[in-house]
Amino acid sequence: MIEARRLHILRAVADHRTVTAAAAALYLTPSAVSQQLAALEQETGHRLVERSAKGARLTPAGEILLSHANAVLAQLERAEAELAAYGSGEAGTVTVAAFATGIGLVVAPAIGSLARTAPGIRVRVQDAEGDESLLMVLDRQVDVAVAVEYRGAPGEDDARLTRVPLYAEPFDVVLPPDHALADRERIALADLAKDPWIGQSAGNPCHDVTVLACEYAGFAPRLEHVSDDFRAVVALTAAGAGVTLVPRSALLGTDLTGVVVRPVDGVAPTRRVFAAVRRGAETHPLIRPVLDALKEAAEPSL
């Protein structure tokens, strides 16, 4: 008989690609993860994981089992949801991981709404970048992720997750006021090809947006300064350190003294934001109201 918790460990190894990283995400020791994988291989009679200096990857047998594991774990989430509904599920805690501007734009308003409509639900918030929160959901560290589309992000057809679209927002160009293009109403990115750029660290979804938008405009941005804090990015721009792209919601409440903000001429790069839960958990009587509140908070256009 295959144990469900071992399937969860197998999926964590597939997601994190090393036993050590999977163990850290699951709050286990690497030896404990290795022991559980060995037990799972004994249960199935197949070698499931291959290890090398580059990490761990699933064997063809491991991939087959993983596809079934996703379905099994989703069904267990549905079972928990139905049991919670049977027991009323009117009170409890839901943990949400979200990036900073997502917290301000949709998570905080959703908490205010839930205080009125579902006072028994307590929401706990954890700040996490858009590319981190999805793994936190899969590793059961949190219940809900407010995440951003990025290269390599799980797609809408991913068997592990259920996604709820929230909002899409454009990126605007931020320039020093003495920039040669500051008087234009709209800025073509190609006209900034020779400028120094301020961007986010590699791995941050906004880094991907900036680099891809510039590549589509025909150049690779010369990233001279890197910060994941948009207030710092705007401050560097005000100091004349370079030009940058900033998602519109991140400019709300930011001190824009000393900078000029202009929309992109043509098709603007866009950040698409969604909520995600483990497949099957979307009907849980505690999680469903949180998803609805997030969706409602996201409805007003930016």
pLDDT beyond 70 at 86: no
For residue range 25-39, what is the model confidence (pLDDT) as tens digits?
Answer: 888 888 888 888 888
Residue-level pLDDT at 183: 93
Q: Could you tell me the pLDDT band of residue 22, with boundaries at 50, 70 and 90?
A: confident
| Number of neighbouring beta carbons within 10 Å of residue 219 | 13
pLDDT beyond 80 at 139: yes
For residue range 179-229, what is the model confidence (pLDDT) as tens digits?
Answer: 999 999 999 999 999 999 999 988 788 898 899 999 999 999 999 999 999
178 DSSP 8-state letter:
T
What is the pTM (predicted TM-score) of this model? 0.69
| Contact call for residues 240 and 178 (beta carbons, < 8 A) | yes
Return the structure tokens found at 94: 């839901």
Return the structure tokens found at 296: 């409602």
**Rounded distance between C-alpha atoms, residue 108 and residue 125, angstroms:** 9
Angle (CA) 15-20-21 rounded to 5° is: 40
Return the structure tokens found at 54: 């580059």
Alpha helix segments (H runs only) across the chain? 4-16, 19-25, 30-44, 60-86, 100-102, 108-117, 133-138, 205-216, 230-238, 248-251, 287-298
For residue range 91-114, what is the model confidence (pLDDT) as tens digits?
Answer: 788 999 999 889 999 999 999 999
